[in-house]
Structure 1
Amino acid sequence: MILQPLKLGGSPYDIGLGLGRFGHDAVHRRLRPLPLWQSLAALAGSEAARAMQAQVEADFPRIWEEFRGLADGLALPVEEVFLWNCRGDFVRPQSVDGCTTVFGPCADGWLIAHNEDGLPSLDGACGLLEATPAQGMAFTSFVYPGSIPGHTFAVNAAGLVSTVNNLRPTRIPAGLPRQVLARAVLECASLEAAVDMLSRTGRAGAFHHTLGQVGSAHLVSVEACSSGVAVRKVRRLGGHSNHLLDAGLDAAGQRITGSSGSRQRRVDVLLGDGAGLLDEARALAILRDVAGPELPIYRRAEDDPDDENTLATAVFRIGANSVEWRVYCQPDVQHVEAAGSIRPHSANGPAR
């Protein structure tokens, strides 16, 4: 369990090209043979795929350039790579990208901690990208081979933190891909702009986002799907796995896997009534929990029913003037895989 460090800059195409070269071998050996990849690639050229691609090209041209570079680095057709990045925008029985997040107030501001759960075959093949684009916002993000950044965990130069959890609605229309909207959040300079981005109409698939920013008086929990968006200011301890918790959005229909239901129940038990403060040790203890009576929060089993394992855990401490972050990839949380600090020039004022 390691993360490969990546430093990429330049044009969107250049960054995509670097990501493609990084992920080339893993994609060809571990991902492209999968039935999920093949079923998505078969949709290339379909009416829905063409419409989604045209919408991204028109609304997010820089992100489309990242796709072009990514495809060239992977030595694959851009239409095929784009569809892989739309894997959550079509209803499929296969699970994709799980994750568990806990969040709440801490002694000096706010804390967001996140388990990034993905395909076990990608263990050791993922990276931690430090991007310095010629245009747009610099950011640091966990990246999967073959995917654009933004739909995992990340922090940008404005001190905006974003962690993302997969959701599984039963109906998904053609529209803006959820990974594109998650990538666009990393270009946002404020919480308000990020919420506006995720609240756009005409989206396809669904995600849950936990957002925080240096100097903010609260965190934001966003459940975003085609049937609506639920935005909640967070002022107490909370957690989220991989299904919609808002009753109104749930009414539209969703698939809740056994693992997602179990993890949400266990997180709720471990957080209690939501009162008090969250610190890094408590957050890590929750995200490393395997003691529950059902399927565990920390997922390393070869027979995980969703075919997912915890590949990395990130902890973000968001204060009045800076974001301090750490990434762990081992069961022993004494081993820090990577760490950093973001201090935006404009940061000031109390975090809470």
Structure 2
Amino acid sequence: MRIDHHELGGMPWVVARGDRQAVFEALGAEFAERVRALVLGLPELPGVRRFEAMGDGARELDELIRLTELGAPQQYAELAALAEGADMPLRTLLLANLRGDVPNEVVSAGCSDVLWRGQRSVLAHNEDGAAGQEEQLVLLTLHLDDEPAVTALWYPGFLPGNAFAVTGLGMVFGLDHIPLVRPEPGVGRHFVARGLHGVRGVEDVVRFLGRNPSAGGFAYNVGDLDTGRLLQVESASGDIAMHEPDAAKPWAWHTNHLRYLTERPDRASPSSVARAQALTRLPPPKTEPDAAWFLDVLTRPTPRGVYRDPVPGDPSATLCSFVTDLTAREVTIALRGGAPVTVPLDRLLTGP
């Protein structure tokens, strides 16, 4: 087992190799301080604890955890190893990872995705969260003994997979949080998202999400490097709906409320609505856009773009931005307050 430390665009870049159990336990030990700071500082954690303490909340959480361990045993074991290494109770990390799988009035998660399927294919992702969390983020590359390489934006204490990821199977993922009014029993959505790292091709992504219903909601923005295809899949408490941009209608986007599962109740935040309105008004480019055009959309505040700064009543902010040009096989990364850096996708997977 080996862990190497690097830096990319002002963000720690960690490359971990070896046995799955040993790697996650070592990551927990090396990043224990960040795990504690991020997990214990989550704005949503008190809401999950309140849910656990009221009425049938504890019973529902126990059932959610049981279904998660049963339905995603490998991913559950990864989190258990992470907790062991960080010397933290597993249930605390479970509550953090399941914060979107139970009713919660506090939401700091956000994110916006913008897609283009013309002569080139582009998937652009803004990662939004509680202001200050950018100081805890890590770019994590996993070379585990029994799976293809994965590079993911990692919140220490979470499973790597709830934000942005590229895989050695040729897939790119950008995820948007969907706050459901009342999530239904299922596997924790972070665990389903991590399981997607073993899937190749957009059809198999749809099949996997259909066969692995999550309790909470995510909008999966998916890119296939081999074919250039892009796909949006909304997954919410066992329901899924899809939208695929193509040459006739190459422009697509998503924020943090449901667009295609219109009968499933969610809670659209003012920020999500404002970003959706900005993207609705934004005229799609008349010529093939480059990475700079997408980065401009991601890093300009509403109403001209989808960048977020904290405002009274909403402590969320854009933490970092990713623009993946699937055709050129390049990704541009911009950490909040930092200068953009562009690297080949192959290098992002192999490490420096």
1:242 equivalent to 2:256? Answer yes
2:333 corresponds to 1:327: yes
Of 20, 36, 50, the match for 1:28: 36
Which amino acid counterpart does residue 48 of structure 1 have in structure 2?
Answer: E
Q: Kindly state the Cα deviation for residue 73 of structure 1 after the two structures are TM-superposed.
A: 2.2
| Amino acid aligned to 1:6 | V
The answer to which of 225-234 and 12-21 deviates more is 12-21
Rounded Cα–Cα distance in structure 2 between residues aligned with 1:204 and 1:53: 11
1:51 equivalent in structure 2: 63
Partner SS state of residue 156, structure 2:
coil
Contact 2:162–2:194 (Cα < 8 Å) also in 1: yes
Structure 1 position 165, deviation (Å): 0.3
Gap change, CA 1:120 and 1:89, over 3 Å in 2: same
Query: Which residue in the other structure is 1:349 paired with?
Result: none
- Counterpart in the other structure of 1:162: 173
Alignment of 1:100-115 (within 5 A): 100-107=112-119, 109-115=120-126
1:1-352 map, 5 Å: 2-34=10-42, 36-41=44-49, 43=52, 46-107=58-119, 109-200=120-211, 202-216=213-227, 218-226=229-237, 228-235=239-246, 236-246=250-260, 249-272=261-284, 276-290=287-301, 292=303, 297-301=306-310, 303=311, 305-319=313-327, 323-331=329-337, 335-337=339-341, 339-342=343-346
Deviation larger for 185-194 or 156-165:
185-194
Structure 2 residue identity aligned to 1:72: E
RMSD over aligned Cα, in angstroms?
2.4
Change (3 A) 1:275 1:338: closer
Q: Contact 1:175 / 1:204 at 8 angstroms: preserved in 2?
A: yes
Identity of aligned residues (%): 25
Task: Provide the rounded CA distance (Å) in 2 between the counterparts of 1:179 and 1:310.
Answer: 20
SS across alignment from 2:211: coil
Gapped runs of 5+ residues in structure 1? 344-352
User: Aligned with 1:46: secondary structure?
Assistant: helix
Q: Give the drift of 1:56.
A: 2.8
Contact 1:323 1:342 in 2 (8 A): yes
Quote the Cα distance in structure 2 between the aligned partners of 1:60 and 1:201.
9
Unaligned runs of 5+ in 2: 1-8, 348-352
Aligned residues: 332
Does the CA-based 8 Å contact 2:112-2:126 persist in structure 1?
A: yes
Using the alignment, how far apart are the partners of 1:173 and 1:33 within structure 2?
26
Structure 1's consecutive aligned runs of 4 or more residues displaced over 4 angstroms after TM superposition are: none
What is the TM-score of this pair, normalised by structure 2? 0.86
1:87-130, Cα deviation, whole Å (9 max, x unpaired): 100110111420011011254x3000111011113121100001
